[in-house]
Chains A and B, each alone.
Chain A
Amino acid sequence: MTVQAEGADVQKTGLVTVIVTFPASPKSPYRAEVTPDTTIGSVRNAATNYFEVTDSAGSTFVLTHDGKVESDSDTIAEVAGEREHTVEFRIVKRITQG
């Protein structure tokens, strides 16, 4: 994943700004500027590290966009399309036990 310094001209560089929110954290949303070929899995790992959460036996943290779960193997370009320069995600705890 390529992360550009804050303030870079995203449109000229071709980078995409990703913003990830996770409500069960006192931290502000995770933000990064990434290349379009960055995988969702890479963003998910960076965001879960930032929010200090990890998968466990009974739950996983998934990245959603417009309510849909995004696959780790998909790229930011596939989610953002050609025109979007900012993509917003939510981290949701998928609880599988119970």
Chain B
Amino acid sequence: MADQESLLNLADVDMAVAEFMTDHGGHFARDQADQGTYWLTLHPASAAEESYYVRLVWTTYPYQAPSVKFADGIGGSVTVTKAWPLIPGYRAASFDICKPMTAEGYGLHAEWRQGPDGWPTAGNPFLWLVEILQFDLDHDYSGRAP
């Protein structure tokens, strides 16, 4: 559960995320029960009919990366392999993204926490992350996980 300061910080920046997602045919919803949780709907450029649902769980914004999981719908299960896109580093079988941009990735690779792979805390890291997710879907996507 995110602290109150984080919720205020998220409220300051999430409109920019909403605008970016609208430009790419997606949208997000803030979880009713936990305001630090967002549900994103994203579409790959090469398969606009495919919808991917991402659950982002922030605990301390902007200071720590969020948990990032694909779900089978908004508010749905995050333990369904078919909910995941096939993208290098996106591990459907492990239900995680093993890259230096998620809580799961930093949890697995402590060496990423410092230096050029460290989580960015300046500007709007929420938008930074969503831009990377959309970029990966647009450029490195090869279908839906089985």
Contacts and interface: CB of A to CB of B under 8 A. Distances in A.
Q: How large is the interface on A (under 10, 10 to 19, 20 to 34, 35 or more residues)?
A: 20 to 34
Contact of B132 (A26, A56, A95, A97): A95
A92 B138 CA distance: 12
11 contacts: A23-B128, A24-B124, A25-B123, A56-B116, A59-B116, A95-B100, A95-B132, A97-B89, A98-B97, A98-B98, A98-B99
A81 interface: no
A42 interface: no
Interface residues of chain A: helix, strand, loop or mixed (majority): loop
Nearest to A27: B123
Contact of B45 (A59, A67, A96, A97): A67
Given A95-B100, A96-B88, A98-B98, 6 more contacts: A23-B125, A24-B120, A26-B122, A90-B131, A93-B128, A97-B89
- Which of A56, A92, A95 counts the most chain B CB atoms within 10 A? A95
A69 B139 CA distance: 9
A29 B117 CA distance: 22
A89 B91 CA distance: 30
A62 B131 CA distance: 12
Interface string B78-112: 00000000001100000001111100010000000
A7 interface: no
Contacts of B131: 23, 90, 92
B16 interface: yes
A64 interface: yes
